[in-house]
Every structure is written in C-alpha cells, then in structure tokens.
Amino acid sequence: DSLQTPRTYCAANTEDLETVIHHVHSLHPSAPFMAAGVSMGGMLLLNYLGKTGRDTPLMAAAIFSAGWNVFESVESLEKPLNWLLFNYYLTTCLQSSISRHRQMLEKLFDMDLVMKARTVREFDKQFTSVMFGYRSIDDYYEDASPCRKLKSVGIPVLCLNSVDDVFSPAHAIPVETAKQNANVALVLTSCGGHIGFLEGIWPRKCTYMDRVFKQFVQAVFEHGNKIFSM
C-alpha cells in the first residue's frame, strides 16, 4: 500500500499503539487484556506504559529484547564488527522501506541525503528525527529510550533481555531502576542474543522466550487477581 501522508513511525511515537489498544478495549471492554512487544515493539510498548502509568486498559505486558538506551544501542552497533554484521544491513533495510514511497516523502525530506546514510544513526539524523519534529537526533534518542520512563510503569511488566545482545548492551540495562519499581520484573540471561534465547545443542523446539511468555500470560489470565493483590 502507498502512504497516504508523509509519515512513518519511530520508537518514541506511541499514537498508533494507543489507537489499537483503545480500539480493542472498546470492542471487548470486559475481556482480560495484555500486550507483548519485541525489540523496537518492546521499546514502543515500554514508552507507552511509562507515559500512561496505571491509566491503561492493559492488565500486564511482556517485553523481549528491548533496546533500553538508544544512545548506547547505536554506539554498540557502530563497533566495527557489529557495523559489518548488523548496522549496514539494518540501514539498507530502513532505506528500502521508504524508497518505494519516495514520491510522497521527498516533499519534506532530502531523500538523496537519506539514501546516503550508512548507519542507523545517520538515517535517524536525516529522516526519523526530522519527520517527528525533534530539534536534534539527541532529543529523539532521549525521548525514545525506555530506561527514562521505566520508573513510571504502573502495571505488571515482565522484561527479558540477554546480556550478550548487541542491540541492548548489558551496561545499559536499567537494573537498579527496575529494582525500584515493584511492577517491573527484569529477567536477564547470559546468552540469547537479540530475540534468540535458543535452548539445547540442536534447538528445534520452543525457545526460552516462548516458555517464559506462555507461563507469564497464563499466570496473569488465570491468577491475575491474586497476583495483583499481593
């Protein structure tokens, strides 16, 4: 489909997510309601929860492999090996996702400059931060970093990260902030990479992430009232 307006998405803008959450809740107001977010989707969900606190129809949420501090994430991705393995490919994917809408977007952006970006940071500087009206890329990255909003989360949230995830380096995971919020459970594994969490020598069955997600959802839906009253 073609874009109807010259606008895409960013990690700090939760308007689309809020629209979906309130639409689903309006259709089924009495149904138990949870949300899950993976990677950038997890960042969006955390930013939404940090903004809304207890004022959300969600009972709980599960977050997997979120990038907690965008400044640290892009710095990690710009290390030589990570740039070669991940950053350049991700940048070309971002460029490809908007190139087919070039006719719409070039009304507002210097698309030649956007398409010359060789890192995610350069892409965000020339495109994403401009699109959403930030004065600078630093302003955008500060607003997009969930670690700055974690203290305001007002519903039970389970967060799973691996300390070997190059998208969210271990030193940038907000362990102390999570300890100070009783609503937040932060689970860290030594291995798992980015949305990996594979198990066994020949991993063919469900992952550790799958098992944790299933157990958490089941606990919330079946025993939520007991959990929330503890």
Flag the least confident range among 8-17, 101-110, 132-141, 200-209: 200-209
Residue from 39, 73, 162, 168 carrying the catalytic annotation: 39
**Which superfamily does CATH assign the domain made up of 32-69+155-229 to?**
Alpha/Beta hydrolase fold, catalytic domain (3.40.50.1820)
Which residue did the predictor score with more confidence, 83 or 6?
A: 83
Q: Where are the domains of the chain?
A: 1-9+70-144, 32-69+155-229
Cα 28 off chain centre by: 26
Cβ density class 2-13: b for 16+ within 10 Å, e for less:
eeeeeebebbbb
Report in angstroms the alpha-carbon separations of 39 from 18, 36, 117, 166, 204: 18, 10, 22, 12, 22
Please confirm, yes or no, whether 25 is among the known catalytic residues. no
Cα 23 off chain centre by: 21
Q: What is the 3-state secondary structure (H, E, C) of 139-156?
A: HHHHHHCHHHCHHHCCCC
Please confirm, yes or no, whether 194 is among the known catalytic residues. yes
C-alpha 221/C-alpha 10 separation (Å) is 31
Q: What is the pLDDT of residues 76-119, one digit of tens each?
A: 999 999 999 999 999 999 999 999 999 899 888 999 999 999 99
Please confirm, yes or no, whether 165 is among the known catalytic residues. yes
Residue from 145, 194, 210, 229 carrying the catalytic annotation: 194
Listed in sequence order, the residues at least 6 apart from 143 whose beta carbon sits closer than 8 Å to its beta carbon are 12, 134
Residue 151 has phi, psi (to 5 degrees) of -65, -20
**pTM (two decimals):** 0.93
Which residue did the predictor score with more confidence, 4 or 170?
A: 170
Which residue did the predictor score with more confidence, 122 or 225?
A: 122
**pLDDT at 210 exceeding the cut of 90:** yes
C-alpha 118/C-alpha 145 separation (Å) is 22
Q: What is the pLDDT of residues 76-85, one digit of tens each?
A: 999 999 999 9
Residue from 26, 165, 168, 223 carrying the catalytic annotation: 165
**pLDDT at 228 exceeding the cut of 70:** no
Report in angstroms the alpha-carbon separations of 148 from 7, 15, 145, 151, 176: 25, 19, 6, 7, 12
Confidence of residue 57 (pLDDT cuts 50, 70, 90): very high
Report the pLDDT value the prediction gives residue 229, as an integer from 0 to 100: 63
